[in-house]
């Protein structure tokens, strides 16, 4: 049986975004520019409100989707369409920026602790200018399935015929998996899809060892198999169908050409986003 291997290990970089939020960047870093269709992966994790309380004041996006998964803490968001939402422990905000929107994401202190992730998912060329939408997903709407030695939360995609609530415009799956110590786990992933495993607690043993804070880029065929270390392990397992299209980036805009990015900046300046 063909197995997916960890082909690269990414440690990421510590950086700052928004109005001064300290975070760790795994994708869109010098080590890993992108993993088609995934444009960016950030982890924010701190017990010190000074690291995150300034948040992300109003800023624009166009051309992709943002998936914000909050493990601990609270986020309040608003946008230029008048939408408002409130994320709490275990919830997800799925925003499709489409043709453009201006929004803010402001964390609120929760016993000092804030921990979570933001993933950027590219939109195909024909959907870059669809209408912006939000899907706020509370924790009780995310299926949690017991597996031997642990559990799996299905944020997007399906597992054992149970579908997650995420509705991506690009085919992908997004799981949050917990394994008790020294437990085996295997899962099939669509052939030719790009995928990664990010360990945020404990350790995983595959063909390579992934320690906490490490992202493993997976090969593109076969079943992914791993074993947890001698402590409880938690990790994200994400995979998606590559778009194989040109990518032009400019800060908060991701299009197919440089000219389209320049037009996005002009539209934002003219107040045409959202």
Q: What is the pLDDT of residues 58-74, one digit of tens each?
A: 789 999 999 999 998 88
* In-domain check, residue 167: yes
Would you say residue 19 has pLDDT above 60? no
Tokens coding 97: 């920026």
CB atoms within 10 A of CB 111: 9
pLDDT at 53: 61
204-231, pLDDT tens digit by residue?
999 999 999 999 999 999 999 999 999 9
Tokens coding 270: 């003219």
What percent of the chain shows pLDDT beyond 70? 92
* In-domain check, residue 159: yes
Q: How far apart are CA 149 and CA 226, in angstroms?
A: 12
Q: Which residues pair with 158 in a beta bridge?
A: 163
Q: Which of 153, 131, 152, 124 has its CA nearest to residue 80?
A: 131
Confidence band for 50, pLDDT divided at 50, 70 and 90: low
Domain count, the chain: 1
pLDDT at 204: 97
Range with the poorest average pLDDT among 9-13, 16-20, 137-141, 174-178 = 16-20
CB atoms within 10 A of CB 48: 11
When comparing pLDDT for 16 and 118, which is higher? 118
* In-domain check, residue 274: no
229-256, pLDDT tens digit by residue?
999 999 999 999 999 999 999 989 999 9
Q: Under DSSP, is residue 139 helix (H, G, I), strand (E, B) or coil?
A: helix
Would you say residue 57 has pLDDT above 80? no
Domain that holds residue 105: 3-269
Q: How far apart are CA 135 and CA 56, in angstroms?
A: 19
Q: Order of strands across the sheet with 13-17? A: 13-17, 21-27, 38-46, 114-122, 64-72, 92-96, 133-137
Spell out the residues 6+ positions from residue 113 whose beta carbon is closer than 8 angstroms to its own.
46, 47, 72, 73
Q: Which of 242, 263, 272 has its CA nearest to residue 34?
A: 242
* In-domain check, residue 112: yes
pLDDT at 8: 97
75-122, pLDDT tens digit by residue?
888 777 777 778 889 999 999 999 999 988 777 765 667 889 999 999
Q: How far apart are CA 106 and CA 80, in angstroms?
A: 15
Q: How far apart are CA 32 and CA 40, in angstroms?
A: 9
Q: How far apart are CA 156 and CA 37, in angstroms?
A: 15
Q: CATH number of the domain that 10 lies in?
A: 2.60.120.10
* In-domain check, residue 150: yes
What is the rounded average pLDDT of the residues 167-193? 97
* In-domain check, residue 180: yes
Q: How far apart are CA 195 and CA 128, in angstroms?
A: 23
């Amino acid at each position: 049986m063909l197995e997916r291997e960890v082909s690269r290990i990414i440690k990421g970089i510590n950086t700052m975004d928004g109005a001064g939020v300290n975070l760790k960047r795994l994708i869109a870093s010098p080590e890993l520019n992108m993993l088609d269709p995934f444009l960016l992966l950030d982890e924010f994790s701190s017990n010190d409100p000074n690291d995150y309380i300034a948040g992300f004041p109003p800023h624009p996006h166009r051309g992709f989707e943002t998936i914000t998964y909050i493990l601990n803490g609270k986020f309040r968001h608003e946008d230029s369409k008048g939408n408002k939402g409130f994320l709490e422990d275990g919830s997800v905000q799925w925003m499709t920026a489409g043709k453009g929107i201006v929004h803010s994401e402001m964390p609120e202190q929760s016993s000092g602790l804030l921990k979570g992730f933001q993933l950027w998912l590219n939109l195909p060329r024909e959907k870059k200018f669809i209408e912006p939408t939000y899907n706020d997903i509370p924790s009780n709407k995310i299926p949690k399935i017991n597996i031997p030695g642990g559990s799996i939360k299905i944020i997007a995609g399906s597992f054992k015929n149970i579908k997650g609530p995420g509705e991506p415009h690009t085919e992908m799956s997004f799981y949050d998996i917990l394994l008790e110590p020294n437990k085996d786990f295997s899962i099939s992933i669509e052939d030719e899809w790009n995928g990664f495993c990010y360990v945020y607690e404990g350790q995983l043993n595959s063909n390579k060892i992934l320690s906490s804070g490490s992202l493993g880029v997976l090969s593109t065929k076969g079943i992914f198999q791993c074993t947890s270390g001698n402590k409880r392990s938690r990790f994200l397992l994400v995979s998606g169908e590559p778009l194989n299209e040109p990518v032009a980036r400019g800060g908060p805009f991701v299009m197919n050409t440089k000219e389209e990015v320049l037009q996005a900046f002009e539209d934002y300046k003219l107040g045409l986003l959202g």
